[in-house]
Structure 1
Amino acid sequence: MRPRDTILLTGFGPFPGVADNASQRFVPKLAHLAARRFSAHRVVARILPTDWERAPARLHDLYTRERPKLVLHFGVSPSASSYVIERVAHNTRKAAEDAAGALPRDGVVVRGGPDTLAARIPVEDVRERLDALGVPAVTSDDAGSYLCNALLYRSLIYAEQIAAPEAVGFFHIPQQIQPALLKSQAEPGVARFDWGTALIGGLEIIRTCLGRPPPSRRHVKNR
């Protein structure tokens, strides 16, 4: 029997100023749904420490052990009110403390590395398909200079050196995800990022990155 391809989903733990990281709760929920929806694949969910040294080391181990075919990272941003689809990672790190109180050893992610690396996902297709489902999303060329950006940069490097995933991307989400509303409570025509839309959107992100067609129209009503 042919082994199942692996989908790797990661989130982050707490860090200074964010005691409860929404991605730490979001990723396991998404993985649970994805394992049922994409049963031909093996879904692996891991929460990485928000640590300059340990996060890339853990990710390196995951690439080596899992040889994933799809890698999607999630993290929070104080400015996000929707999905923020990151287009690029920058070879830069700011002098900010991680969860262990440590500063980065260098101002760049990889010495001698390119200034930027493009995410390996169909960014516009993802945004358009989220929009079609009524899931708020925007694109971004600036993933910041903290752990989120550094992890995406490292992930793209590992994708070249260790495995060959079909897609590698990073998505910022709001620091707080609102409870899902009943259909009778939702305001018509207003896209709202809550647990319902977040998880619907997460499944659609995976579906798009796997190259699968969008859901049929009957599943996209009452948006």
Structure 2
Amino acid sequence: MKRASKKLPIALVTGFDPFGGETINPSFEIARALDGATIAGHRIVGAELPTEFVRSLPALDALLRKHRPTLVIALGQAGGRSGISLERIAVNLIDARIADNAGAQPVDVHIVENAANAYFSTLPVKAMLSALRTANIPAELSQTAGSFVCNLVFYGLMHRLARARRDVRGGFIHVPFLPEQVQKVPGAASMPLMTMIAALRLCLETALTTKDDLHYAAGATH
């Protein structure tokens, strides 16, 4: 993989550490694999965030201050999903079905008090979806990023960009389990790591080169 010059503008890709009893998290494996790559004239910085309600956004803030990226894509693991999920909406809600890695399990609380109920991704999600499907990579637009730490980071990112960095595009993508995570569960959905890395390269290239998103029907009925 071609390594990038440090003088190039930066696109930030984040992933999470393992959680919920897993020993690996594909979201960070993708971010780690892309770290240092050159895509569409940008240097990719891949970084890990803690799967913790209290620590994840301060860690994101530190990365934003250090790298001042022109694009941010946060990644998360969504076990059970079979394709790349391009998230459209972050909601101002935490309702944790399980505890995070610090043992915290907030229920029915706002991420930011007295702030917007929701934010939309500013990534060209339909153009990204089209690129993925053209490459025969399973993908979908998703209307919910859940209510765990993934949604917290998605909402927190968009809240920060809306307030201080409107020139920076940002959003969130969920990825499936790796095959090794479901090897004891016959028929369970998964995707090879190399396919997910290729998918994110496509997403980054599309987001960095597409000014106006495509306009076509890609919604859901449920």
- TM-score (normalised: structure 1): 0.80
The yes-or-no answer on 1:82 pairing with 2:83 is yes
| Cα distance change, pair 105–59 in 1 and its aligned pair in 2 (3 A) | farther
Alignment RMSD (CA, Å): 2.2
Q: Residues of 1 paired with 2:27 and 2:85: CA distance?
A: 13
Aligned match of 1:210: 208
The yes-or-no answer on 1:174 pairing with 2:179 is no
Aligned match of 1:104: 106
1:135-150 equivalences under 5 Å are: 135-150=137-152
Residue 104 of structure 1 and its aligned partner are, at CA, apart by 3.3
Match of 1:124 among 123, 126, 146: 126
The residue type paired with residue 145 of structure 1 is S
Mark the runs of 5 or more structure 1 residues left unpaired by the alignment: 179-191, 214-223
Q: Residues of 2 paired with 1:158 and 1:93: CA distance?
A: 17
The residue type paired with residue 149 of structure 1 is N
* Cα offsets for 1:124-157 (capped at 9, x unmatched): 1110111001111011111000000110000001
* Cα offsets for 1:62-116 (capped at 9, x unmatched): 1122211010011101221110010010111014411011233861111111111
1:29-48 equivalences under 5 Å are: 29-32=33-36, 35-38=37-40, 40-48=41-49
| Cα distance change, pair 3–22 in 1 and its aligned pair in 2 (3 A) | closer
Identity of paired residues, percent?
29
Q: Residue 34 of structure 2 contacts residue 44 of structure 2 at CA under 8 Å; is this kept in 1?
A: no
Which portions of structure 1, spanning 4 or more consecutive aligned residues, are displaced by more than 2 angstroms?
16-19, 103-106, 160-166, 192-197
Q: Residue 34 of structure 2 contacts residue 197 of structure 2 at CA under 8 Å; is this kept in 1?
A: yes
- TM-score (normalised: structure 2): 0.80
Larger radius of gyration: 1
Q: Residue 81 of structure 1 contacts residue 193 of structure 1 at CA under 8 Å; is this kept in 2?
A: yes
* Cα offsets for 1:191-212 (capped at 9, x unmatched): x942332222111100110025
